[in-house]
Structure 1
């Protein structure tokens, strides 16, 4: 599991996939909070030293708790009924991920899956983080990126942001 590997090694491998045109501009960072009970913290992605995606475990857990409560209320499951907890948690987690709220562990899970996938699988992934990694991947060529012009319009704003960033860096016209 990647969380157990040394972050510097994971970061080096992740950076090795970044295309030349964005190598100096996109940075991946992980911060752990020593005093947190689980010692997790957050991961974040910066572009030109500006944070564009924050994956904070505390923020994610708060959103998960809220969604879990909403699902239980909607399905009329007593809040103290733990028998369906894993089903409810999975539904809440999918909901939160779809909203673009990620925990540090979601970042590590996405990186691990990205390392195992082909570039084609990563570009077609339903996981926003994996798709973002793939959009800035040196293995995604200009023709591939150009073919995505229409389909990218259906993606979340942050995915579109990374697509536009890559296209601009590569000199690919995306409008007109």
Structure 2
């Protein structure tokens, strides 16, 4: 599918409040056969999602430790996770440390998932992911670990107000760019 047709299809799925604010753009290199060009998403004429752009307004993590040390990330820890740590330690760990250990484990897991999602996004082909989005359900795109699929689903007109409001806890565990588009979509309600 040509870029112009793909762009038109993606824009037809945009929620009405975001039409004209969110735009899909591409640049290509006409005379360089080994350069495929880059695709990016702009919001209010600002480049928001482009992995190779250093002026991005969204933080792209370079290491797992950056994620673990980021004070903005709030990871909720359930009672079951604390109980699991307690069982594994045979009750030898003080209760106040159990939550710290459970949060640290969950944060490590989250950091690995986030780094994996970022690296797959930087290697992914926007056109391939966009075509996949157009051929799958909105639920599958929202549940995917692919950042770009999440973003495309969040700006989709098929995503209802009630579902958006019920997603707030899930969004806390997503990449900052997904959280950005979630907040953008919340602002349109």
Same fold, judged at TM 0.5 (above): yes
Q: CA deviation at 1:32?
A: 0.7
Q: Does 1:150 align with 2:146?
A: no
Q: For the residues of structure 1 that align with 2:122 and 2:177, how far apart are their CA atoms?
A: 16
Q: Give the CA RMSD over aligned residues.
A: 2.1
Task: Indicate if the aligned counterparts of 1:29 and 1:45 stay in contact, CA closer than 8 A.
Answer: yes
Residue of structure 2 equivalent to 1:8:
4
Question: What whole-Å deviation, never above 9, does each CA across 1:59-84 have from its counterpart, x for those lacking one?
Answer: xxxxxxxxxxxxxxxxxxxxxxxxxx
Q: May I ask how many residue pairs the two structures share in their alignment?
A: 129
Aligned twin of 2:88 = none
Q: Cα deviations across residues 96-155 of structure 1 (Å, max 9, x unaligned)? A: 762267458521121011011111111111111011000000000001101101010000
Unaligned runs of 5+ in 2: 53-112
What is the SS of the residue equivalent to 2:179? helix
User: In terms of Rg, which structure is larger?
Assistant: 2
Q: How does 1:53-92 map to 2 (within 5 A)?
A: 53-55=49-51
For residues 11-160 of structure 1, the aligned pairs below 5 Å read 11-55=7-51, 98-99=117-118, 102-103=121-122, 106-160=125-179
Alpha-carbon separation, structure 1, partners of 2:162 and 2:168: 10
**Matches of 2:155 and 2:13, distance apart in 1:** 8
* Structure-2 change in CA distance of 1:104 and 1:21 (3 Å): farther
Q: What TM-score results when the alignment is normalised by the length of structure 1?
A: 0.67
The normalised TM-score by structure 2 is: 0.63
5+ residue gaps, structure 1: 57-93, 171-176
